[in-house]
Amino acid sequence: MSGILVLVAACSYTVAARGERIADLAVKQHSAARPHPPGNVIRVMTLNLAHGRGNRTVQRVLRKKSARRNLDSVVELVRDTDPHIIGFQEADLKAAWSGRFDHVGYITQKAGMANWVHACNVDGLGLAYGTAVASRLPIDRGIGYTFDATPPTFSKGWSRAVIPLDSGTGRDLEVVSVHLDFLSPKHRTNQARQLVKELGETDNHLLLMGDFNCGLRKDEETLGVLMDELRLTTYKPDAEDVITYPTLKERLDWILIGADMRFLDCEVVEPQVSDHLALIATIQIDTREPSERESNPERDR
């Protein structure tokens, strides 16, 4: 009976801290954004911040000073790699266990990123964190989404930034930072289907990146659902040497792009600033209309 009571309490706790289902996000700014780079080539990074605890795998209560010291390593990584756009996961907003300050605001200010949007997917009981998109380029609009509750694990979700392109076609770039459930393949697949439902009708260029908590395996259809239904590709999907979560020696973090984009390169980058390694890619966007595009046999699946 005591075990059942603990499980009920855990489920009630996680549901109580669930963030808002869907919401427009304020675009926060430090400074003027850069113009879009010439040639429609962008560098993007995805990184799970692990609540500012550094490369420890277990969460613990951090003082503000300790969290800032850990995040300074993230700042240095961003300065060294200079991405245009970053997708963050497990990004805290005044959470009691990580110093009670805005982690993405801290990183973007010190790294010289112009603006960001931040979805609070877990909000309550002293916790406040979620997903974010930071950009050196302008952001026109932000949207946040929290998936259906998956007790006993805390809620997951995504943040979506609409970035205008100077292409003359009227099509923008939509960047989505995603975090999926870590415990249940069934929940992850359901969350992938929720993503497809929300994103499937967009006419814009689409880029998904984040901590998907799974690989591209035959025994789980999560990534397959996203890639097939949203017509997305990834870089070297079958490569066994791409490791983003060293503890399990697995590739849990992915960058997925639409058919109107192609990878110029993609790599895992050191140093390890959280329990995940950052993944960074250089991507070229084809802004022509579909009827005008030439076939490209060098594209990855």
% of the chain exceeding 90 in pLDDT: 74
pLDDT higher than 80, residue 139: yes
Spatial separation of the C-alpha atoms in residues 101 and 94, rounded to whole Å: 4
Using alpha carbons, list the distances in angstroms from residue 228 to 58, 84, 110: 35, 27, 38
8 A C-beta contact, residue 118 and residue 132: yes
pLDDT value of position 2: 41
**Count of H-run helices and E-run strands, the chain:** 5, 14
pLDDT value of position 248: 94
pLDDT tens for residues 13-52?
566 576 678 899 999 999 887 776 656 899 999 999 999 9
Tell the residue number behind the tokens 């009670």, with chain if given: 100
8 A C-beta contact, residue 161 and residue 117: yes
8 A C-beta contact, residue 211 and residue 205: no
pLDDT band at 10 (very low <50, low <70, confident <90, very high): very low
Within a 10 A sphere around the Cβ of 183, how many other Cβ atoms?
11
pLDDT value of position 8: 38
Tell me the DSSP string of 252-272.
-EEEEEETTEEEEEEEEESS-
Q: Angle, to 10 degrees, between the axis of helix 64-81 and the axis of helix 103-111?
A: 40
Q: What's phi and psi for 235, nearest 5 deg?
A: -90, 125
CA dihedral 291, 293, 299, 301 (to 10 degrees): -10
8 A C-beta contact, residue 283 and residue 264: yes
pLDDT higher than 50, residue 11: no
pLDDT band at 170 (very low <50, low <70, confident <90, very high): confident
pLDDT value of position 4: 40
% of the chain exceeding 70 in pLDDT: 87
Tell me the DSSP string of 21-40.
SEEEE--EESSPPPPPPGGG
8 A C-beta contact, residue 78 and residue 87: no
pLDDT tens for residues 229-253?
999 999 999 998 999 999 999 999 9
Residue 110, classed as helix, strand or coil, is helix
CA nearest 288: which of 167, 147, 125? 167
pLDDT tens for residues 80-137?
999 999 999 999 999 999 999 999 999 999 999 999 999 999 998 899 999 999 999 9
pLDDT higher than 70, residue 255: yes
Q: What average pLDDT is seen over the chain?
A: 89
> For the chain, which domains are there?
2-292 (3.60.10.10)
